[in-house]
Structure 1
Amino acid sequence: MIEETGRVIAVESGAVWVETLRKSTCSSCSAQAGCGQGLMDKLGVDSRRGLVRALSDLQLNVGDSVVIGVREDLLVRGSLLVYLIPLLGLFAAALLADAMSLSESLVILSGLFGLVASWFGVRWRSRRVSDDPALQPVVLRALLVGAAGV
C-alpha cells in the first residue's frame, strides 16, 4: 500500500476530501546543484497541494490529519493504461499504415490518429470505472495531533 499523509478539508457521506502536499525528490537527486527545479523548491516557489477524494468509514472532521493509501497494483495498472496504451495505439496505427504502403505523411497522420483514438479509449475507460470503490484511495488511519489527541 502506498501511503500519504494529508489534512481533511471536506467531509462527505462515506468519503472525505484530503489535501496533500506534493513532496519534491530534489534533495536526493545527484543533479540538484545544476537544476533550476531544486532552487525553486528550496525557495518554496512551487509548493503544490493536491486534493484527493478518499473513501472512509471513520468519523472525521475538517482539519483532521489522516493517512490515505492506494494499492501498488492499482498504481502500476493505471500507469500502464495512461502511458503505454496510447503509445501502442500510435505504433500500431503507424505500422498498419506502413504495411498498407501508404505515403510517409499518411503513416504519420495514421500514427497520430492511433494515439488520439487510444487516448480517448483510455479516457472512456477511466470515466467508466471512476466510481468503482476498489479503485479509489482509502483513509487508512487518523493521526493524533499533539499528546492530548486534539
Structure 2
Amino acid sequence: MIEEQGRVVALEPGAVWVETLRKSTCSSCSANAACGQGLMDRLGVGRQRGYVRALSQMQLAIGDTVVIGVREDLLVRSSLLVYLLPLLGLFAAALLADGLGLPEPLIILAGLAGLFASWLMVRWRAARVAENPLLQPVVLRALLVPVSAAG
C-alpha cells in the first residue's frame, strides 16, 4: 500500500476530502546540494496542495491528520493505462498509415489521431470506473497530533 499523510478538509457520508502536500523526491537525491531543482524544492517553490477523496468509515473531524493509502498494483495499472496506451495508439496508427503507403503528412496526422483516440479511451475508462470502491484511496488510520504542533 502506498501511503500519504494529509489533513481532513471536508466530510462526506462514507468519505473525506484530504489535503496533501505534493513534494518532489529531490531530498533523497545525492546531487541535491548542487542542483537547481533541489534548491527550488528547499525554498518551497512549486509545492502545491492536492485534494484527494478517500473512503473512510472512521469518525473524523475537519483538521484531523490522517494517512491515506492506494494499492500498489492499482497505481501501476493506472500508470500503464494513462501513459502507455496513448503512446501505443500513436505508434499503431502511424505504422498502419505507413503500411498503407500514405504520404508523411498523413502518417503524422494518423499518429496524432491514434494518440487522441487512445486518450479518449483512457478518459472513458476512467469515467466508467470512477465510483468503484475497490479503486478508491482509503483512510488507513488517523494520527494523533500534539496540540503545540497543530495549526
| Pair in the same fold by TM > 0.5 | yes
Q: Give the TM-score of the pair, scaled to structure 1.
A: 0.93
Matched, 1:29 2:29: yes
Report the equivalent of 1:3.
Answer: 3
Matched residue of 1:76: which SS? helix
Q: For the residues of structure 2 that align with 1:113 and 1:14, how far apart are their CA atoms? A: 41
Residue deviations 1:2-58 (CA, integer Å, cap 9, x gap): 011110000100000000111221122233344322111111222211100000000
| Matched letter for residue 85 of structure 2 | I
Superposed counterparts of 1:108-119, under 5 Å? 108-119=108-119
Aligned pairs, how many?
148
CA displacement 1:87-106 (0-9 Å, x = unmatched): 00001000100110111111
- Separation in structure 2 between the aligned mates of residue 30 and residue 132 of structure 1, nearest angstrom: 40
Same amino acid, percent of matched pairs: 74
Q: Give the C-alpha shift of residue 108 in structure 1.
A: 0.8
Instruction: Provide the C-alpha distance between the structure 2 equivalents of 1:8 and 1:27, rounded to a whole number of angstroms.
Output: 26
For normalisation by structure 2, the TM-score amounts to: 0.93
- 2: distance between equivalents of 1:81 and 1:48? 25
CA RMSD of aligned residues (A): 1.5
Provide the C-alpha distance between the structure 2 equivalents of 1:89 and 1:55, rounded to a whole number of angstroms: 34
Residue aligning to 1:20: 20
Unaligned 5+ runs, structure 1: none
Q: Which runs of 4+ in 1 moved over 2 A?
A: 30-36
Aligned counterparts of 1:68 and 1:11: Cα–Cα separation in 2: 14
Unaligned runs of 5+ in 2: none
For 2:111 and 2:145, how far apart are their aligned partners in 1?
Answer: 54
Amino acid of the structure 2 residue aligned with 1:51? Y
Q: What's the CA shift string for 1:77-120, capped at 9, x where partnerless? A: 00000000000000100010011011111111100100011001
Q: Quote the residue 1:90 is aligned against.
A: 90
